[in-house]
Amino acid sequence: MEVRYIKPEEAADFQKVSAASFIWKFNAEEDSTVKVPVLAAFDEEKLIAGVEILDYKVNYCGKFIGAVEIDGVCSQPECRRMGGVRAIFDRIGEIAEENDWILGFLHPFSIEYYGKFGYANLNRMFEVKVPFEKLGHIPRNTDVILYTGEQFEELSSLHEKCALRENLMTLRDEKKHFCNKPLENADYTYFRRNADGNADGYVRFKVNRPNDVVVEEFFVLSPEALIGLVGFLRNYDGIAKNLVVSKQYQGSDFACLADGIDGVRYEFSGSTAARIYNLKGLLESNEYPCESGRFSLLSLDEIERNKGIFDVEYANGKAIVTQRNDGDYDIALTASAAARLMLAGEGHTADTAAYIKGVEIKGNADGFFKAFPKRATRFADNNWSE
C-alpha cells in the first residue's frame, strides 16, 4: 500500500471517497479541487482513504511549537478494514519529524478508535446558552470596531496575546485565519480597544433569528473586555432570545461569568483529541517549577523516536532531558496516556492518574505530576478560509 500526498488531478478522487464516507453529494464542478494538502492511501493505484493536513503553530507554555491538525479522515466504505487509515497515521508519524510537528490534533468521532493511534481526549467543550433577559445587569456597549480585513495586523497581534494565555491555542498570522468579509458571509468579528487604545478582546458570531446569537469565538485579555463585548452583544436582544457561546470549558472567561447567572443552560459540544509526535521536544518545551525535581518516564509509544525511558532533571523552570533504552523508571505511559497527562491541563496526581488507562506508576512520580500542573488549555482551529 502506498501513502503519499495527492496530486492536483487526484483531488476529485479524494472528494468522491469523502462523499461516500460521509454521505454527502459530490459535485463534479465544485469538488474537483482541495484547499489543503491531502495525504492518501492507495491500493494498486486506487485511492481508498485520505486525510486533510493543516500545519499550525500552537502555544505550549509560552512558546509556539509545530503542530498538525488532521481533518476529514475518510475511507471508501467497501475498502474499510484494509489498513488504509492505519497506513496514513503511520506515515504521519514519520513525516512529523520532517515537518517539526511536535503535536497532532483532530476532532474524534470515536476516542476509542483514535486511541489506537495514540490520541487522547483533551478539551471537553460545552456550549453556554444565556437568555438575553438574564444579562440586564451588564451595561450595553457600542464602543467596538467591526473587523473588515483592513485591521488584520491589530487583530492578529491581539489573538497572539490571547493565545499565549492558554495552552494549545493556535497562532493566526495569515489573513485566511479570520473572516475578512463579514457582510458577504454574515459572519461577524468585532473587537474592542481599552482606555490606552490597545485591542484587548474580540468576538466572532452569527445571528440565527429569532432564537440565538451564536458566538463561535470569544477571546479577551481582561474582565473589562469581557463585560464590554457582552454588553455589545446585548444590542441584539431585539432580534434574538439567547446568547449562545460555544467552545467553552470549566474555568474559561465566559463560563466564569455565566456561573453567576440564573437560567443558564450548558450542553456538551464535542472535544479535541491530541497526540505527542515528539516527546523529547515536548518535554524540553514544558515550563517546569522553580523548585528542583526529577522523574523518569517510560514511553510505550509506537513511534520510534518516542520509545524508551526519558530522564528529566529540572530547576528554575527549565529541564535537561536525556533518553535511554532500559532501566528503572518512575512512571510508564502509553502514547494516549501521555497526551492526556501532559497536554490536557487537568492537573492530575498519582492517585487520580492511576485510574487512567495506559498509566503505570512504579516509583515516586511526584516530580512528574508537579511538572504538569493544572493549566488553562483550549485548542481552537484557525482554518477559516473565504
Q: What cell numbers appear for 376 in the block? A: 488553562
Under the phi-then-psi rule, with left for phi > 0, alpha for psi from -120 to 50, and beta for the rest, what region is 68? beta
Q: In what order do the strands lie in the sheet with 308-315?
A: 318-324, 308-315, 293-299, 331-333, 359-361
DSSP at 67 = E
What is the band of 31 on the pLDDT scale with cuts at 50, 70, 90? confident
What is the helix (H) or strand (E) element at residue 255, kind and residue range? helix 253-258
Contacts of 57 (CB under 8 A, 6+ apart): 64, 65, 66, 67, 170, 171, 173
What is the band of 80 on the pLDDT scale with cuts at 50, 70, 90? confident
What was the pLDDT predicted at 382?
65
For residue 277, which phi and psi values (nearest 5 degrees)? -95, -20
d(CA 337, CA 332) in angstroms, rounded, equals 9
The mean pLDDT of 65-80, rounded to a whole number, is: 93
Reported as a single tens digit per residue, the pLDDT across 357-383 is 999 999 899 999 999 999 999 987 765
What was the pLDDT predicted at 237?
95
d(CA 152, CA 341) in angstroms, rounded, equals 36
The mean pLDDT of 329-341, rounded to a whole number, is: 98
Domains and CATH numbers, the chain: 2-106 (3.40.630.30), 126-271 (3.40.630.30), 278-371 (3.30.1050.10)
Distance of CA 167 to the CA centre of its chain: 9
Q: Beta strands 293-299 and 331-333: pairing type? A: parallel
The mean pLDDT of 23-48, rounded to a whole number, is: 91
Reported as a single tens digit per residue, the pLDDT across 198-231 is 999 999 999 999 999 999 999 999 999 999 999 9
The mean pLDDT of 99-117, rounded to a whole number, is: 94
Q: What cell numbers appear for 223 in the block? A: 474582565
Q: Beta strands 63-75 and 103-106: pairing type? A: parallel
What was the pLDDT predicted at 192?
97
What was the pLDDT predicted at 384?
54
Taking alpha carbons only, the member of 273, 335, 346, 345 closest to residue 307 is 335
Reported as a single tens digit per residue, the pLDDT across 36-47 is 999 999 999 999
pLDDT at 103 over 80: yes
